[in-house]
Amino acid sequence: MLTADMKRIIAEQRLGFVATAAPDGTPNVSPKGTFIVLDDATIAFGEIRSPGTLRNLRANPRVEVNFVDPFVRKGYRFAGTATVVERGAAAFPALRERFRSPLAARMRAVVTISVSKALPLTSPAYDEGATEPEIRRGWTRHFRDLQPRRRFEA
């Protein structure tokens, strides 16, 4: 199910925006910066400080995650079913070991997502004929211009 390009964008971007719903139906979107690909149909993130996301997933395991390369305005959306693997569960140590992150020691749970649907995301700019190199140049310039200018005094 997960293509090589889908795996690439998850590995490169790592920041996925996780959409869940609270028991009362209130939507919740929370960025997670610890995403990894477990296999051809499963992605996962380490939960560090998102008790609301875990509470929502325990009540309703349906989830969607979006990853977007901000420079080319392309990415993917993944829908599926989440499983919360708590610290103390037999599977937790092996799952946590898969994360190559200094934050792994702080993970209170690992959330695995069995992906049932994966769709591309693209900017409407492509509909108007813009090319990927043009979009990349424009957004690279934009992000560069956001950086503070440093002045060095002699």
**pLDDT tens digits for the chain (154 residues)?**
899 999 999 999 989 999 999 999 999 999 999 999 999 999 999 999 989 999 999 999 999 999 999 999 999 999 999 999 999 999 999 999 999 888 899 999 999 999 999 999 999 999 999 999 999 999 999 989 988 765 555 5
Q: What is the pTM of this model?
A: 0.90
| 151 is a domain residue | no
Q: State the pLDDT at residue 14.
A: 85
Residue 10: both structure tokens together: 């998850």
65, 92, 142 from 123: Cα distances, Å:
17, 37, 16
Query: Which domain CATH number covers 59?
Result: 2.30.110.10
Distance of CA 40 to the CA centre of its chain: 16
Report pLDDT for 101: 84
How big is the chain by its Cα radius of gyration, in Å?
18
Residue 85: which H helix or E strand, with range?
strand 74-86
Within the chain, what is the greatest distance between any pair of CA atoms? 61
Say how many residues make up the chain: 154
- Residue 17 is predicted with a pLDDT of 98
Question: Is 152 domain-assigned?
Answer: no
Residue 153 belongs to some domain of the structure:
no
Q: How many domains does the chain have?
A: 1
Report the distance separating Cα 36 and Cα 99, nearest Å. Answer: 7
In a domain? residue 129: yes
Q: Can you give the residue range of the structural domain that contains 69? A: 4-146
Measured at the CA of 96, the angle between CA 93 and CA 100, to 5 degrees, comes to 140
In this structure, is residue 125 part of a structural domain?
yes
What does the pLDDT read at residue 66?
98
